[in-house]
């Protein structure tokens, strides 16, 4: 059986971004998962039933550590002789594609699930652009996970069109539509969670899920909600996700509002987001940049209309006024107006719900995406 090596920078990406996919692929290939060490890697071995290998990689620019990672991956590829090396996440892509090229791996695929460099400027932007071009030059096939991302890559002249391919309708892993189903969260679980969070039955709940960082539009979201909540005492904002203060901190005034506004509830990382989504009415996701946002798939699949920024991925899943609202990026007033609209027009919100789950099932079901990736692998020779 031919070998397929999948690489992410940190093990939680291997566990979450590709959940179920490695097990599916192991019917067709001998699959090896590679990432930094951690509990999540043990979970990957157990849940996906594949071999794993540890190579420590950093998420920032660290030349000596990066060269060490390239050398370790090169040795692994020489030993295992994979037919395909497929990388995800920026650093895994750069070191993985270089090592695979040096080791003579015939098929080197890299999935792009967002371009952090789009928010960089000056010398840092030039450096990141150069790294991106270098990564693509080492790969034999680049898989942007949205059509908008493919356009950006071509606009930036990172590679030639013939090297690019979008899988299916977009997305890196599709969505488990049976798991993300609001019907699975019982009334009792909902009531208990509302009581725990001090949310009244009649409250309109806006939810954000993701990293609580600047790039996700949290500064604007919190400012918008703070103004909104002065006029609307029966609304709440749920913030679900981890902080990354060392990488992308929020403004001090945003931190003060999160602490001071009793209608904002930050619950940190949650292993199962479904109960939180089930007690919410609208997903607000004003991110500056995405590849193909799983959160919007998850929220829509659980019948939430979504307020999203007008960026690739988001504007491919959401159609304005059909299953959500698309607003300008980095615009607190636009976020506030969209939230007020959702409060003022419950009948329009209900109409959007009717188009939420059905669209996701039709276009982004996990098995469909996995089969499209498999077909891509099978065309390689």
Q: Residue 116 pLDDT more than 90? A: no
pTM for this predicted structure:
0.86
Task: Tell me, letter by letter, the H, E, C secondary structure of 352-364.
Answer: HHCCHHHHHHHHH
pLDDT of the residue at 245: 87
Show the CA angle centred on residue 132, arms to residues 100 and 112, nearest 5°: 80
Q: Domains in the chain, please, with CATH?
A: 3-174+365-378 (3.40.50.2000), 182-364 (3.40.50.2000)
Q: How far apart are CA 111 and CA 121, in angstroms?
A: 24
Interstrand relation of 282-285 and 204-209 (parallel, antiparallel or unpaired)? parallel
Residue in the block written with tokens 């090297």: 163
In 3D, which of 129, 62, 136 has the Cα closest to residue 96?
136
Beta strands in 3-145 (DSSP E): 3-7, 30-35, 51-54, 84-87, 107-112, 141-144
Q: Residue 354 pLDDT more than 90? A: yes
Q: How far apart are CA 177 and CA 274, in angstroms?
A: 12
pLDDT of the residue at 265: 98
**Coil vs helix vs strand at 31:** strand
Residue in the block written with tokens 């892993």: 173
Q: How far apart are CA 114 and CA 11, in angstroms?
A: 18
pLDDT of the residue at 218: 98
Residue pair 360/175 in contact by the 8 Å Cβ criterion: yes
Q: How far apart are CA 84 and CA 105, in angstroms?
A: 7
pLDDT of the residue at 115: 87
Residue in the block written with tokens 């899920």: 209
Give the pLDDT confidence of 208-245 residue by residue, as tens digits: 999 999 999 999 999 999 999 999 999 999 999 999 88
Which residues are 206's β-sheet partners?
A: 237, 282
In 3D, which of 62, 43, 64 has the Cα closest to residue 52?
43
């Amino acid at each position: 059986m031919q070998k397929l090596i999948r690489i992410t920078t940190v093990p939680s990406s291997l566990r979450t971004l590709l959940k179920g996919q490695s097990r599916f692929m192991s019917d067709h290939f001998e699959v090896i998962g590679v990432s930094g060490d951690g509990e999540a890697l043990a979970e990957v071995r157990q849940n996906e039933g594949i071999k794993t290998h540890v190579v420590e990689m950093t998420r920032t620019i660290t030349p000596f550590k990066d060269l060490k990672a390239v050398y370790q991956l090169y040795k692994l590829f020489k030993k295992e002789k994979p037919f395909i090396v497929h990388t995800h996440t920026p650093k895994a892509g750069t070191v993985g594609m270089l090592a695979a090229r040096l080791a003579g791996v015939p098929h080197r695929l890299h999935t792009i699930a967002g371009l952090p460099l789009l928010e960089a400027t000056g010398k840092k932007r030039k450096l990141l652009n150069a790294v991106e071009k270098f990564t693509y030059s080492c790969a034999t096939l680049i898989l942007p996970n949205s059509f908008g991302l493919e356009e950006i890559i071509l606009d930036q002249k990172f590679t030639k069109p013939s090297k690019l391919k979008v899988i299916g309708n977009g997305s890196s892993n599709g969505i488990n539509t049976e798991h993300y189903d609001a019907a699975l969260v019982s009334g009792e679980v909902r009531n208990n969670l509302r009581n725990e969070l001090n949310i009244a039955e009649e409250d309109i709940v806006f939810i954000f899920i993701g990293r609580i960082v600047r790039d996700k539009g949290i500064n604007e979201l919190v400012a918008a909600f703070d103004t909104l909540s002065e006029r609307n005492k029966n609304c709440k904002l749920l913030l679900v996700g981890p902080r990354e203060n060392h990488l992308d901190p929020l403004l001090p005034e945003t931190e003060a509002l999160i602490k001071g506004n009793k209608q904002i509830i930050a619950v940190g990382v949650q292993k199962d987001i479904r109960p939180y989504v089930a007690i919410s009415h609208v997903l607000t996701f004003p991110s500056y940049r995405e590849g193909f946002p799983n959160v919007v798939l998850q929220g829509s699949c659980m019948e939430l209309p979504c307020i999203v920024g007008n960026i690739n991925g988001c504007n491919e899943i959401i159609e304005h006024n059909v299953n959500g609202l698309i607003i300008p990026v980095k615009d607190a007033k636009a976020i506030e107006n969209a939230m007020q609209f959702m409060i003022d027009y419950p009948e329009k919100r209900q109409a959007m719900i009717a188009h939420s789950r059905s669209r996701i099932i039709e276009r982004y079901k996990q098995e469909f995406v996995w089969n499209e990736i498999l077909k891509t692998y099978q065309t390689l020779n």
